[in-house]
Every structure is written in C-alpha cells, then in structure tokens.
Amino acid sequence: MFAAALLMKSPPPAAASWTVVTLLTGADRAEALADWAREASGVEPVQLLKPRDTRAWLDLYFDDAPAARRFLKASESQRLVLGRSVRICRPRDWQRFWRRHFKVLTVGGRLRIVPEWSRVGRPPRGVRDLRIEPGLSFGTGTHFTTRFCLERLAVHCRGGRPRTMLDAGTGSGILAIAAVRLGAGRALATDNDPQALEAARDNARRNRTGARIRFAVADILAGAPRGRFDLVCANLYGPLLLESARALAAATRHTLLLSGIREIEADAVADAYAAEGLSEIVRDGDGEWCGLEFTRPAHRRSRGS
C-alpha cells in the first residue's frame, strides 16, 4: 500500500484531465529529485512511497500537455531518474486512488477519521467521528503532516476554545472541521482553489459543522485574512511557509501550528517565525517530515487584537 507523502494540501490544478509524469528514483534520493523537479517544472511533486521499499515515485500533475512533454524530455538528462512514465488522469482516477488508500484512522485519542464510503460501528467513548470524502483534495490524516496538526488540535480544542481558528490552505477541510468537532468556537478555512473549497464545504455539511465554518477563496501569499485568530493552522510546505511567515504570524493571536515541513527545513522555518515574535514550543517529526507549534508571548498578544 502506498503512503502518500504530500508536499501541499491543495489538489492538482483544476482541469477536466491532467497529464501526469511519474519519475522513479531511490527512496534516499526522492527529496533531491523533488527539488529539481519543482524547479524545472514549476509544478509541486507528489511523493509516493511504499513501506520498506527502497524505491520512490514522484507524480507531477500538468494541466498543459506540451509543458508535460517538455519536462519529460528534460528528465532524460537527470541522473536521479531511474525510470519515467506518462498517463492521463481524470477526476474519477483521483477519487479511485483515495478509495484504495484512505483507511479509518484514530488520531489524538479524541478523533476517528472515517472515509465517507466506510461502514463502521459507533466510535469508542470520548472519540468523535469525522467523515471525509477527499474528492480532488489532499488531507485525510494518513500522512504525518496532517496527523501532526490533528493531534495538536486534539490538545487545544475543547469547550468552545479556541474561540476562533484559521485553516490556511484547507484542502479537504479536515483541519477546520476537526477543530470545530473537537470544540473550537468557529473557523475560517481558506484555499486558493475554488474546487477544493467546494469539496471542503461538502465535508463540513457531512459533519454538520457548516454553520460554524466560513470558507473563502484566498491565497496566503497575497496576505493574511483581516483580523487575528486564537489558533492558526497551516499545513502547506516549507518554502511557502517561509514566504508567508509575516502574514501567518500577523494572523496569530495565540497559537500557530505549521506542518508540511521537511526535517531539513525545520530550523529555517522556526527562525523565520521567531523573527516575527513567536516562540517555538513543540517540534515533532518522523525522520523526514516535521511539524512546529508556536505561541505568541503573553505580553505581545494584546497588540492589534
């Protein structure tokens, strides 16, 4: 079974179909190849790994077939590439992928993530179900990056707290929905892809949380939403988190959760947010991926609130 190591939460570009270029490499070379592929194509790679396998695959989704062919040609001179293939992917193929690889998962002792198509009994006492249909979005809790955020939300969300939450780059909506299901007051969920937001709205209705979550098309690189939020969550990827440090820090009244960070990027990301006045209090990783939690020192919280 594949474990999808997703560098971003937003889906592939909205299109009737995508040209998908798949590159085969060694598992120990996947990050280096991903860096090259990102630079050469302008497309964010999706890493596919198998447990205990020495191989790794990178999928790059192109909504422009000529661009895919140019990238494929460029990959022929890349020594890290051990094999390559091209296929056409339509929305139903993406949905079929999730149905194969998205399984029931309990996170943080308080939340059970359930695929919409699964039939399960009542959750254990004290555990809430969260039903997700990923659609064309990323974000199911199966990868460390999302799981870190869910586990920290299980710590912070209960009894109407935090009162406000921002989920920047919401994807499937899983983090905003989880926060509200666990006890947060209300949430704003943003994404730069309207198609992802539509799937997120459907998931919110599925979990009866739509009245407490507002969804909005927004790009964090264009600036933070107006106002400040008690808790901000951004499960994106390292370079984007660096670029948006000022905006995300400005939106944070108390707690900031960041994930989608490679371990080798963690210090740089932590330094960028420390420079914005936040203090790192939690760092967790799985040897490849990392999540960070920051807090705003009490004497700085009232400013601009």
What's the whole-number mean pLDDT along residues 260-273? 93
For residue 262, give every residue at least 6 positions away whose Cβ sits within 8 Å of its Cβ, in sequence order, or none.
Answer: 31, 238, 288, 289, 290
Residues 216 and 297 grouped into a single domain: yes
28-37, 65-74, 113-122, 241-250, range with the lowest pLDDT = 113-122
Q: How far is CA 37 from CA 9, 41, 71, 236, in A?
A: 18, 6, 8, 18
262 occurs within a structural domain: yes
* Domain final position from 47, 72, 89: 89
Spatial strand order in the sheet of 83-89: 3-6, 46-49, 55-62, 18-26, 83-89
**Residue-wise pLDDT tens digits, 142-179:** 578 888 999 999 999 999 999 999 999 998 899 999 99
Residues 237 and 165 grouped into a single domain: yes
15-24, 86-95, 206-215, 290-299, range with the lowest pLDDT = 86-95
182 occurs within a structural domain: yes
Do residues 184 and 214 lie in contact, with contact meaning Cβ atoms separated by under 8 Å? no
Which one, of 167, 106, 103, 111, lies nearest residue 134 by Cα?
103
Using CA atoms, how far apart are residues 27 and 255, in angstroms rounded to an integer?
Answer: 34
Residues 159 and 248 grouped into a single domain: yes
Which one, of 18, 10, 8, 20, lies nearest residue 71 by Cα?
20
Q: What is the CATH number of the domain that holds 216?
A: 3.40.50.150
Residues 202 and 269 grouped into a single domain: yes
**10 vs 189, more confident:** 189
Residues 71 and 172 grouped into a single domain: no
Mean pLDDT of the chain: 85
25-34, 43-52, 289-298, range with the lowest pLDDT = 43-52
How many other CB atoms are there within 10 angstroms of residue 122's CB atom? 7
Single-letter code of the amino acid located at 89: C
133 occurs within a structural domain: no
Residue 289 banded pLDDT, cuts 50, 70, 90: confident
Helical packing angle, 144-156 and 174-182, nearest 10°? 20
Classified as helix, coil or strand, 245 is helix
Which one, of 276, 209, 282, lies nearest residue 241 by Cα?
276
**131 vs 141, more confident:** 131
Checking DSSP bridges between strand 213-217 and strand 252-262, what pairing results, if any?
unpaired
281 occurs within a structural domain: yes
Spatial strand order in the sheet of 164-168: 213-217, 186-191, 164-168, 229-235, 252-262, 289-295, 279-285
**Residue-wise pLDDT tens digits, 69-88:** 999 999 999 999 999 999 88
- The reported pLDDT for the residue numbered 14 is 52
- The reported pLDDT for the residue numbered 5 is 36
Using CA atoms, how far apart are residues 288 and 297, in angstroms rounded to an integer?
Answer: 29
Residues present in the chain in total: 305
Checking DSSP bridges between strand 164-168 and strand 229-235, what pairing results, if any?
parallel
The alpha carbon of 162 is separated from its chain's Cα centroid by a whole number of angstroms, namely: 21
Q: How far is CA 190 from CA 16, 50, 168, 198, 205, in A?
A: 23, 31, 5, 11, 16
129 occurs within a structural domain: no
107 occurs within a structural domain: no
Expressed as residue numbers, the domain containing 22 is 17-89
Query: Around 82, how many Cα atoms within 13 Å sit in the side-chain half-sphere?
Result: 12
- The reported pLDDT for the residue numbered 294 is 98
- The reported pLDDT for the residue numbered 97 is 58
**Residue-wise pLDDT tens digits, 2-42:** 333 333 333 454 556 789 899 999 988 988 999 999 999 98
- The reported pLDDT for the residue numbered 41 is 94
Residues 170 and 290 grouped into a single domain: yes
What's the whole-number mean pLDDT along residues 110-134? 83
Residue 1 banded pLDDT, cuts 50, 70, 90: very low
**295 vs 104, more confident:** 295
10-24, 92-106, 229-243, 262-276, range with the lowest pLDDT = 92-106
Using CA atoms, how far apart are residues 66 and 106, in angstroms rounded to an integer?
Answer: 43
Q: Residue 293: which H helix or E strand, with range?
A: strand 289-295
Share of the chain above pLDDT 90, in %: 52
Using CA atoms, how far apart are residues 167 and 150, in angstroms rounded to an integer?
Answer: 12
207 occurs within a structural domain: yes
Residues 63 and 175 grouped into a single domain: no
Residues 167 and 60 grouped into a single domain: no
**104 vs 68, more confident:** 68
